[in-house]
Amino acid sequence: MIAGKTIILGITGGIAAYKGAALCSKLVQAGATVHVMMTKSATEFITPLTLQTLSRNPVHIDTFDERNPEVVTHIHLADHADLIVIAPATANFMAKMANGHGDDMLSTTLLAATCPIVIAPAMNVHMYEHPAVVDNMERLAARGAMFVEPGTGQLACGYVAKGRLAEPEDIVIALETWFTQNQKLKGKKVLITAGGTMERLDPVRYLTNDSSGKMGFAIAEAAQLMGADVTLVAGRTTEQPPKGVKVIRTQSAADMLDVVVNEFQNADIVVKAAAVADYRPAVVHEQKLKKTGESLVLELERTTDILATIGERKSHQFLVGFAAETEYLERHAMDKLQRKHCDLIVANDVSQDGVGFNGDTNAVEVYGPEGLVEALPLMSKRATAVRLMELISERIAAGGGSQS
């Protein structure tokens, strides 16, 4: 999958820079066109001539060293790259990336890039675990950067611990996996709902829930990375949706129902991750409801069940629902899967720490018609989303949905 791809290899100033030569060689041998960019500190560890010889392309170090008057080099390379890999990525350079600095050729190119970015950190174990470094990596991951975890072994400082750059062979495998994964849902139209709904009581008050939209947004990002054409129907959220997906904003359960029904027939995969209100005020007041006594009784009426509605209308779609529970997880999940004609149900126990609304982590159990398909331990919502989309693609490849 690497053959024919244009890859920018960024090498920063750590002792592991010497492994950049082996990585460059392996990418070229795999058929990639490799453009190497080095920070000035990286040139203290390995010469640009080595990388130029291996890549068969000029090595870029200085932003102002423009060799082709017809283009601005860092913009031109950023526009034509299929992927950028930073190996090794030092703590200092990741801090620059996280804060949007552009003071050299590599960091400036990254600011102009729209392609995926893969980061392979390498540093002392205490540096790798420093809260500032951890925070910078989390910020980069939240923007869509992917990481190749460092290995555990002998470090240049003498420690035997985590922090050594992943081996070039492992980085190449990670890139091949990404390019392969990027094709799994190519040509598929994926419809995803995210966030909570808002049910108006009056012009200044509404009923809602704790949903942040993070899980739905992570699923949209994962589907997009796998090559899908993604439409995201978002209610009330606390996060920004991933770039590059079509976003349709809604407020109430009725609004979301209208949009989902309208988009449903064109979808191949539907993932209902939104937390939709089960009830809404029976009367919506045109003016602010005034305080009139010691208590207030609200009459609520049922909203239309979106998942059940599209489950009844399903033809070719692969339908995935979510079940946020506090007890009897399997029983409720299987009941929901059958009643609402889903192909998979993603269930989680939101009474557990780190699971469910607002947080960055989740632990879920995925159920199909046969019962438990896979239990995913506590992990980031992004990692959960990637595995969920992999399961969906595997089930579709094996014969598609079975619930109708």
Annotated binding site: 278, 288, 322, 336, 340
Q: Tell me, letter by letter, the H, E, C secondary structure of the chain.
A: CCCCCEEEEEECCCHHHHHHHHHHHHHHHCCCEEEEEECCCHHHCCCHHHHHHHHCCCCECCCCCCCCCCCCHHHHHHHHCCEEEEEEECHHHHHHHHCCCCCCHHHHHHHHCCCCEEEEECCCHHHHCCHHHHHHHHHHHHCCCEECCCEEEECCCCCEEEEECCCHHHHHHHHHHHHHHCCCCCCCEEEEEECECCEEEECCEEECCCCCCHHHHHHHHHHHHCCCEEEEEECECCCCCCCCCEEEECCCHHHHHHHHHHHHCCCCEEEECCECCCEEECCCCCCCCCCCCCCCCCCEEECCCHHHHHHHHCCCCEEEEEEEECCCHHHHHHHHHHHCCCCEEEEEECCCCCCCCCCCEEEEEEEECCEEEEEEEEEEHHHHHHHHHHHHHHHHHCCCCCCC
Mark whether 157 is an active-site residue.
yes
Contact 260, 274 (CB under 8 A): no
Tokens 């399961």 sit on residue: 391
| Closest alpha carbon to 403 in 216, 266, 231, 270 | 270
Residues 6+ away with beta carbon under 8 Å from 323:
329, 332, 333, 336, 345, 346, 347, 348
Q: How far apart are CA 229 and CA 244, in angstroms?
A: 9
Strands 371-380 and 300-302, how do they pair?
A: unpaired
Q: Which residues are annotated as a binding site for CTP?
A: 278, 288, 322, 336, 340
* Burial label, 361 (beta-carbon count in 10 A; 0-12, 13-18, 19+): middle
The residue from 24, 115, 157, 342 that is catalytic is 157
**Catalytic residue positions, numbered:** 157
